[in-house]
């Protein structure tokens, strides 16, 4: 389906027509269980298990677009650079539709800085916005002036789907870009926290166990089919909350900090380690362009922290360098005991890290002898 056709279907659904189902591959029995009032059904990312279908009503969709526009300073023209099979890409089309402007998209094929620049040049005058994942932003940064000068044309660039590398943030600020780091999920109709601050109407709280909970007008109706084993949504004192699998904390300045996912935790040597936390430390190591940390089975440690590292063009780090930096910042249990240098990291279609795929890749590299291991 073309983006123009998708836009028409979304507007029809908002006007009372059939719901739009993103991602495809759904059986009729599953679709028949969509809650009444569903206008859009989108799958979860599938980063930690089989994707679930999330049902959103018109109120949630409109509230999400309205809150985003208010935080960004108004409506404008949106450039679609993400797949519409997930909520981040679908939201770009929705924001354009509800602003009364057609959505614009990239040329067919893989994401490139040249294609992004070409599509940006075709946007009409007026405020411009786009939404990217960090991998795309990293490619634009590597493209030199082509990337930075193109991004300067946008009034705001939303970045979500994975943690924004502080080095990318610094590069963007030095280049005069307005990068907005977003947090959200399909269950919250996409980004509901911008740069650590909830959008208007959204409230966030942290449970005693560190999980992030969200309430507000953008919450989904639920899952289709309903999953009693993973309720996701709870009601307390007449207020409905989404209980996420994300761990967070409040920074001293009052901003929400994302610490990682509870279901990504790795148990090693009797300690529970967040791979996202280790990745953030490893990104400070010279020579690390990108990194994913996984746990591989190990008889003495239970799981052995293993880093898959994309080296930058200047040098490649070694395992001892990685371990030394982590031990200086945190206790030794967080230091990786394995290292594999790779050209790219596995990612899902949504742009999020494919941690299951990374673990399989690391196991294969270990078997073939292409993984440096601390004995």
**What CATH number was assigned to the domain covering residues 3-257?**
3.40.50.12780
DSSP string, 12-57: HHHTTSPPEESS----HHHHTTSPTTEEEEEE---SSSS--EEEEE
Structure-model confidence comparison of residues 217 and 298, the more confident one: 217
CA distance 64 to 69: 9
The pLDDT value given to residue 312: 87
Q: Mention every residue, 6+ apart, whose C-beta is less than 8 A from residue 280.
A: 163, 166
Contact 267, 298 (CB under 8 A): no
The mean pLDDT of 351-371, rounded to a whole number, is 89
**Exposed e or buried b for every residue in 186-206, given b needs 16+ CB within 10 A?**
bbbbbbbbbebebbeebebeb
Neighbours of 217 (CB within 10 A): 17
DSSP string, 307-320: EEEEE-SS----HH
Q: State how far Cα 156 lies from the chain centre.
A: 17
The pLDDT value given to residue 350: 74
Q: What is the bridge-based pairing of β-strands 190-194 and 197-198?
A: antiparallel
The pLDDT tens digits of the residues spanning 93-144 come to 999 999 999 999 999 999 999 999 999 999 999 999 999 999 899 999 999 9
The pLDDT value given to residue 24: 64
The mean pLDDT of 145-158, rounded to a whole number, is 97
pTM to 2 decimal places: 0.84
The pLDDT tens digits of the residues spanning 17-57 come to 999 998 765 555 566 788 899 999 999 876 555 678 899 99
The H-or-E segment that residue 329 falls in is helix 319-329
Mean of pLDDT over the chain? 91
**Exposed e or buried b for every residue in 58-88, given b needs 16+ CB within 10 A?**
eebbbbbbbbbbebbeebbbbbbbbebbbbb
Domain 265-373: CATH superfamily, name plus number: ANL, C-terminal domain (3.30.300.30)
The pLDDT value given to residue 288: 93
CA distance 356 to 336: 18
Confidence class for position 373, pLDDT limits 50, 70, 90: confident
* Domain ranges in the chain with CATH number 3.30.300.30: 265-373
* Domain ranges in the chain with CATH number 3.40.50.12780: 3-257
Percent pLDDT > 90 in the chain is 69
Q: 375 pLDDT exceeds 80? A: no
Contact 116, 68 (CB under 8 A): no
């Amino acid at each position: 389906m073309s983006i123009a056709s998708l836009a028409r279907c979304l507007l029809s659904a908002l006007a009372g027509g059939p719901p739009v189902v993103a991602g495809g591959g759904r059986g009729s029995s599953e679709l028949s269980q969509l809650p009444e009032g569903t206008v859009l059904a989108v799958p979860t990312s599938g980063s930690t298990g089989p994707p679930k279908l999330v049902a959103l009503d018109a109120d949630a969709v409109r509230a999400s677009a309205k809150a985003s526009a208010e935080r960004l300073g108004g409506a404008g023209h949106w450039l679609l650079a993400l797949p519409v099979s997930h909520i981040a890409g679908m939201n770009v089309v929705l924001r354009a539709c509800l602003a009364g402007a057609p959505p614009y998209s990239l040329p067919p094929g893989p994401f490139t800085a040249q294609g992004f620049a070409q599509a940006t040049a075709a946007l009409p005058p007026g405020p411009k916005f786009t939404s990217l994942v960090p991998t795309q932003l990293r490619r634009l940064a590597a493209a030199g002036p082509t990337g930075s000068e193109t991004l300067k044309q946008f009034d705001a660039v939303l970045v979500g789907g994975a943690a924004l590398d502080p080095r990318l943030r610094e590069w963007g600020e030095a280049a005069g870009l307005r990068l907005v780091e977003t947090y959200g999920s399909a269950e919250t109709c996409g980004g509901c926290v911008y740069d650590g601050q909830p959008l208007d109407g959204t409230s966030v709280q942290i449970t005693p166990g560190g999980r992030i909970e969200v309430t507000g007008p953008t919450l989904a109706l639920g899952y289709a089919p309903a999953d009693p084993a993973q309720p996701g949504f709870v009601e307390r004192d007449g207020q409905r909350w989404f209980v996420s699998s994300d761990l967070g904390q409040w920074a001293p300045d009052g901003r929400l900090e994302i610490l990682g996912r509870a279901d990504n935790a790795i148990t090693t040597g009797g300690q529970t380690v967040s791979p996202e936390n280790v990745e953030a430390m490893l990104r400070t190591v010279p020579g690390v362009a990108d990194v994913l940390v996984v746990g591989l089975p190990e008889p003495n440690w239970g799981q052995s922290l293993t880093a898959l590292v994309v080296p930058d063009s200047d040098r490649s780090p070694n395992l001892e360098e990685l371990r030394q930096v982590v031990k200086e910042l945190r206790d030794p249990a967080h230091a990786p005991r394995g290292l594999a240098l790779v050209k790219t990291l596995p990612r899902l279609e949504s742009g999020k890290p494919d941690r299951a795929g990374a673990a399989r890749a690391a196991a294969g590299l270990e078997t073939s002898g292409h993984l440096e291991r601390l004995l």
